[in-house]
Amino acid sequence: LRALREEDQANVTGDALTRFVRQRHHEVDQTGIFSRARNLFTKFTRGYFKLEIDDDIENPGFRCIDTATGRGRNIEELSSNTRIQLLLSVRIAFVENQEQGGRKMPFILDEALAISDEQWAEEIIKAGIDICSDGRQFFYLTAQHDEVGKWRRLLDDTDLEARVIDLAEVREFSQKDRVPPQVFEPPPAVEIPGPAGMSHEAYGKALDVPSIDQEAAVGGVHLWYLVEDPERLYKILNNGINLWGQLENLVDSNNSENLTADSTVYKNAAAAARVLESALRYRLVGRGRPVNRRVLKNSACCGTHLEAVVERAEELDGDGRRLVTALSAGEVKRFRKQKISELEQYLEEHGFIPVEEELSPAEIDERVRRDVYKDLETGLLSTERLSWLIQQVLREGQ
């Protein structure tokens, strides 16, 4: 830990931390450092992100996958809130691993909530409470009275022993400098309308659910499309979960408060998500899937030009054909023609440059039904539900 701190002081971007995690993850995978960090990161971000490690030896880094879009971001591309949550997740995992079942070390945080919004700050506090629940001592240092109030409010619902040490009081400062006794309540949350006996369709209108983006990933689909029971949907939405990618990530990491992977509601939602994913994929036949950083890296064609090619792809909205044309025109200097040809072939073979004719709605319907026939046989989907889901992807005017 001492060596890690010295490295981290020299490189606050997190690269040193990444190298350490990657080395441990590969050398001693059973320690679960990365798995624990990943689980915490999912919890802190309420499922909006999941953590991966970029195995590029020259440029190691964390990749934070946006569960709504499937796109990855490196640590420099994250908001300040998310960056703090990421580094906090990794440090907690390190501390727990270093103990190796021995005496638990105290955990100390210094104003880690300072730039977190209310919802995410609450998740960090709850994580701190979880850490304390198995006997660990936890210190939180702050000069912000409202942060003390947030801790008080959430600790009131636990059996943990907690103590506020007000240094202004210890030093006998004036009363105005001391921490006020009140609990600071969070601002009112966005109110989710209850279903009040509404049908599924009526509740969707009350929620003003957007149409499915035909160019997007299934992770960004609103849960109204996947959860038929309005009452169960309301409970999930009321916990700040409204997208499929978010819910899937939370359930997979056992961070969902109300659902498990074995629950009927989740199984039915997952089956519906498979329908939408299949329909969205077939709709892209003849249109070309968007090219992003992960695609370009997986192609192994870009080498040292990867970042420049990624930037150009983003400027072209992920259009593979236009990207190849731009590269052929020399818009990324010293990118060899052979590599351009290899990249073009890769993009064609993997559906990023269309080489087929567009499928008709009837052809898409037939292929989707073939993909999900097991869900029909097991009763996770009805034929009516299947038809409705396909129509949501293919309907005109989206």
Per this entry, what is the length of the chain? 398
Q: How far is residue 35's CA from residue 80's CA, in Å, rounded to a whole number?
A: 23
Cα 373-378-381 angle, rounded to 5 deg: 65
Residue 19: per-residue pLDDT:
56
Which residues on adjacent β-strands are paired with residue 110? Answer: 141
Q: How far is residue 26's CA from residue 38's CA, in Å, rounded to a whole number?
A: 15
Cα 46-51-57 angle, rounded to 5 deg: 165
Edge-to-edge order in the sheet of strand 49-54: 49-54, 61-66, 72-73
Residue 139 has a CB neighbour count (10 Å cut-off) of 11
Residue 73: per-residue pLDDT:
83
**DSSP one-letter code for 66:** E
Written as six digits, the tokens of 297 are 């890296």
Residue 214: per-residue pLDDT:
87
Residue 184: per-residue pLDDT:
62
Q: Is 69 left (phi over 0), alpha (psi -120 to 50) or beta?
A: alpha
Pairing of the two strands 49-54 and 61-66: antiparallel
Q: How far is residue 14's CA from residue 85's CA, in Å, rounded to a whole number?
A: 12
- Walking along the chain (398 residues) 10 residues at a time, the average pLDDT comes out as 38 51 49 84 90 66 87 81 82 80 79 69 79 83 85 87 88 79 65 92 96 91 97 93 96 89 96 97 84 92 94 92 94 93 92 87 96 96 97 76
Nearest by Cα to 303 from 340, 352, 350:
340
Residue 188: per-residue pLDDT:
65
Residue 61: per-residue pLDDT:
67
Residue 247: per-residue pLDDT:
97
Residue 120: exposure state from Cβ atoms within 10 A (0-12, 13-18, ≥19): buried
Which residues on adjacent β-strands are paired with residue 63? Answer: 52
* DSSP alpha helix (H) spans, the chain: 2-10, 15-27, 33-44, 80-99, 118-132, 145-155, 167-170, 200-207, 230-237, 244-252, 264-283, 293-299, 306-315, 320-328, 337-349, 361-371, 373-377, 383-394
Residue 188: exposure state from Cβ atoms within 10 A (0-12, 13-18, ≥19): exposed
Residues 85 and 41 sit within 8 Å (Cβ to Cβ): yes
Nearest by Cα to 25 from 2, 47, 3, 54:
54
Written as six digits, the tokens of 345 are 């072939």
